[in-house]
Amino acid sequence: MKNRRAIILILLAIASGLAAFFATRAFRVSNPSGDEMRWLADEFALTPEQVAVIRKLEADYAPVCAEHCRRINEIRARLATLENNSPDGEAARAQWAELVRECNAATMRHLESVAAAMSPGQGRRYLALVVPKLARHEHTHPFGLK
């Protein structure tokens, strides 16, 4: 029973991690040219003022996301050295799951802030595009880095 619960927890953590990754990469996936802000401005009919607000939101969130990724990767490395059924392994898996939840919640707040900087209709459309990608993030790279 404990092994099954641990496997489910790990799978949920991986799914949550994938979600955040794809949410933060939504612009790159949708815009192969690499100019995410130009694509965002064009796709969501942003004014120059909205672009400036979103640029600041992105700049402010990048170190938050990078710190989450750093901490999650530390736990991932630690998990690789521990036995699955050991108390240390169980504690590390619980810590991993908590960090993933924290990261996903922070990413969701960030995405909602970006959407709030847009017109209401465009903000809803933006969230409809990026929130589903939050479920596929694997927490391998800091925000904004490949």
Tell me whether residue 146 is in a domain.
Answer: no
Determine the average pLDDT of the residues in 58-71: 91
Q: Which residue has the higher pLDDT, 37 or 27?
A: 37
* Domain assignment of residue 113, yes or no: yes
Q: Name the residue with tokens 């640029």.
A: 55
- pTM of full prediction above 0.75: no
Which CATH number goes with the domain that contains 10?
1.20.120
Q: Which residue has the tokens 């402010």?
A: 60
Residue 45: inside a domain: yes
Number of domains in the chain: 1
For residue 19, what are the β-bridge partners?
135
Closest CA to 75 of 7, 144, 10: 10
Most confident by average pLDDT, 77-86, 112-121, 131-140:
112-121
- C-alpha distances (whole Å) from 41 to each of 53, 93, 113 are 12, 40, 15
**11 lies in a domain?**
yes
Asked whether residue 93 is domain-assigned, the answer is yes
Distance CA 124, CA 97 (A): 28
In a domain, 142, yes or no: no
pLDDT of 32 higher than 60: no
Residue 82, domain extent: 2-134
- State the average pLDDT over residues 36-57: 94
Task: Look at residue 12 and tell me if it is in a domain.
Answer: yes
- For residues 1-16, give the mean pLDDT: 59
pLDDT confidence of 1, banded at 50, 70, 90? Answer: low
- What is the reported pLDDT for 21? 54
Q: Percent of the chain beyond pLDDT 90?
A: 37
Asked if pLDDT for residue 81 goes beyond 50, the answer is yes
Distance between CA atoms of residues 131 and 115, nearest Å? 11
- The reply to whether 140 falls in a domain is no
